[in-house]
Amino acid sequence: MEYSDEIIEKLTKLEIFSDFTEKNEENIRILKAICQLLEIQEFEKGATIIKEGDMGDALFILYEGTVQVRRNTPSHEQFAVVNLNASYNVFFGEVALIDKDTRSASVIAIENCRTLRLDGDKFKKLCDKEPFLGYRAIYRIAQRLAVSLRRSNKDMLILYEALLDEVNGA
């Protein structure tokens, strides 16, 4: 994809690339290199962008539209987790930039959407050439994963306590 000021502006608003917001020559060069890797993908209302359980190999940046994140219950019933609009500067599938991963949720277009797709293998090759990009992006991904892990641990503790209360007849 060709570089544009609009795409650069979008990238700098994303948490994963927030260390490149200062408009200096080095940051702009790195952001332009990321732009070269991006592919525009359009999804019609109702289309699945990411399917829970599938192997992932790319990050998606929501450029236009609104999506709904859905998870499956243990009995394979879907429930909505959250609706996300492009104006929120969201991305999903970021673990694929580190390693091919099993998608932890589905992402469905609830209106026509346009995404910017960043292939994980291409991104890793760019990071080999641009180690600072790799370090900062992976640091931001690690921060997100740490927050998710802490939240999951807290939720598990609450569930464990509720189970103990139930077993003990409290």
pLDDT tens for each residue of 14-34: 999 999 999 899 999 999 999
With 80 as the cut, is the pLDDT of residue 143 above it?
yes
Task: Compute the average pLDDT of residues 128-142.
Answer: 92
pLDDT for 164: 80
Residue whose token pair is 């000021």: 5
pLDDT for 161: 83
Phi-psi region of 65 (alpha: psi -120 to 50; beta: other; left: phi over 0): left
pLDDT for 2: 65
Q: Which residue has the higher pLDDT, 164 or 85?
A: 85
Q: What is the fold, at CATH topology level, of the domain defined by 5-167?
A: Jelly Rolls (2.60.120)
pLDDT for 155: 74
Give the span between the Cα atoms of 55 and 96, in whole angstroms: 9
Across the chain, mean pLDDT equals: 90
Per-residue confidence band for 3, with pLDDT thresholds at 50, 70 and 90: low
Rounded to 5 degrees, what are φ and ψ at 96? Answer: -65, -15
pLDDT tens for each residue of 42-101: 999 999 999 999 999 999 999 999 999 999 988 888 888 999 999 999 999 988 888 887
Cα angle 37-43-47, degrees, rounded to a multiple of 5: 130
